[in-house]
Structure 1
């Protein structure tokens, strides 16, 4: 109680200064990574190209490791399929690059302009670009992993499980070697939208449309197979019930197919803190991610 009283007496300006200094300190710590901004991952003059949404940033470690190529992690932002921007998550790119990973942070088209199937196609296009060009930035095209939070976690899971996304792009195989799912949303939107159990569920008919066949087609849970790549899964103990339920069922299905994976429920965490924790370098997700992708090897 005494601490709270003292905190209340601190002028707002000093609190803001402290927050700014903390942010600058964290930025300085993560600064060793190099950011290459606003690279188009589709042909810029192709029909339907969005000049802002079909962009990605690459973050590379400043320290060289000779001719060795580094593992690659592509991060997909969340935002209920209707908001979000790669620039908000630059700290994740810097954190990863500081720890020896080439990071790719992407934009993709959003609702209401497009539906989720188009978003998934955008993400697959970004992976395809990465396989073709990441070696130019020191990344290993044979070690591409996908990562995402919330809606981005669901899209990352879809990339890892649905090979057809890459077949549609003329690729002979799915290049994704593993996935890191941070409080993923949309693992089973067919079940979610069929039940409509929660208030405001109608809002998700804007990004998903009204066709149950589409809900199922973009739900990763229906694509898990014996050749699904390794995964790390995390959900918050206090996250949304729908995420808790679908994550548990996804975990069970991975177990049934004997997929190498790990699923952790992080104590006391709500949905948003599940991504803001990535602000800190020594977060458990980074520690386990580095092992999965083989950073330093």
Structure 2
């Protein structure tokens, strides 16, 4: 299949996610969830009572040292998705010694991708400022996302201006975990308009090529960019395979070669569904990447802005 239908959440996927959510409470009890936290002041003009919220999943027992932190950003074609469908990811991470923050952000057609990125940056800034209250280490903060969320997670790691606009002196993101990411280079993708139906992406991305480049992580990575851990499905969409490989090559040229794995036989949707099982390869590598169980994350050691 060649059409770039990234992150459309079909009814079947939503059904499967809801089934996983229904089961995860019994499977992941060693965690505590604080749900529905507003990361934008509720009195602020434009506050969205549903989309400007996040959930925190923390290990039930406080550790001798603060836990690493992963902010998870859902996919959904930039026009759908909800944090409540991914509670199993938050609980699985908490069960394995990570404080997880699962966020909502505004979606198209109400806003375009720059506003989505600003929402995600505000959620990360809130996490940086408050996560110590939940046992997390703000100095070991990582972003993670699937599909459209993967592209946003990469942008947060690479575009420091997103955080300067939030009043932070430096980007707090120490690394990014990308699960079958979409949107790494929408400038290149939308210039080509290669597939039927590509016009739909002009709703979240607009019609200005300069705007496409402005939200494409490909054009922000530098030799100072933090580490990336990237997983791509062996049977995912061609656009994701090609843009992820191009992203890998650019990071490598910059001296920032990512940890990069192609998971044989995996299609796009199963790349996120597999996160229901705590022993899958993504969690195995993620825990090492963020330094779960250690005082300092190996991936972040020596990294400075």
TM-score > 0.5 by shorter chain: yes
Q: Which residue of 2 aligns with 1:63?
A: 61
Name the SS for the 1:165 alignment partner: helix
Name the SS for the 1:51 alignment partner: coil
Q: Which residue of 2 aligns with 1:119?
A: 116
Q: Are the equivalent residues in 2 in contact too, given 1:111–1:206 (CA < 8 A)?
A: yes
**Aligned mate of 2:106, from 106, 109, 116:** 109
Q: TM-score, normalised by structure 1?
A: 0.91
Q: Distance in 1 between matches of 2:50 and 2:148?
A: 19
Q: TM-score, normalised by structure 2?
A: 0.89
TM-superposed CA distance for 1:272, in Å, is 0.3
Residue 44 (str. 1) matches residue 46 (str. 2) = no
Name the SS for the 1:192 alignment partner: helix
Name the SS for the 2:70 alignment partner: strand
Q: Which residue of 2 aligns with 1:11?
A: none
Q: Runs of 5+ in structure 1 lacking a partner?
A: 1-18
Q: Distance in 2 between matches of 1:142 and 1:219?
A: 26
Q: Distance in 1 between matches of 2:62 and 2:170?
A: 30
User: 1:170–1:24: structure 2 CA closer, same or farther, 3 Å change rule?
Assistant: closer
1:191-228 Cα deviation digits (max 9, x unpaired): 00000111110111110011111100000000010011
Name the SS for the 2:62 alignment partner: coil
Matches within 5 A, 1:2-21: none
Matches within 5 A, 1:1-297: 26-66=24-64, 68-297=65-294
Q: Are the equivalent residues in 2 in contact too, given 1:229–1:260 (CA < 8 A)?
A: no
Q: Provide the alpha-carbon RMSD of the alignment.
A: 1.4
TM-superposed CA distance for 1:26, in Å, is 5.0
Using CA pairs below 8 Å that are at least 6 residues apart, which structure has the higher relative contact order? 2
TM-superposed CA distance for 1:63, in Å, is 1.8
Q: Number of residues paired by the alignment?
A: 277
Q: Are the equivalent residues in 2 in contact too, given 1:106–1:126 (CA < 8 A)?
A: yes
Q: Distance in 2 between matches of 1:282 and 1:244?
A: 24
Name the SS for the 2:77 alignment partner: coil
Q: Distance in 2 between matches of 1:31 and 1:206?
A: 41
Q: Are the equivalent residues in 2 in contact too, given 1:143–1:293 (CA < 8 A)?
A: yes
Q: Are the equivalent residues in 1 in contact too, given 2:21–2:86 (CA < 8 A)?
A: no
Q: Are the equivalent residues in 2 in contact too, given 1:146–1:160 (CA < 8 A)?
A: yes
Q: Distance in 2 between matches of 1:155 and 1:257?
A: 21
Name the SS for the 2:232 alignment partner: strand
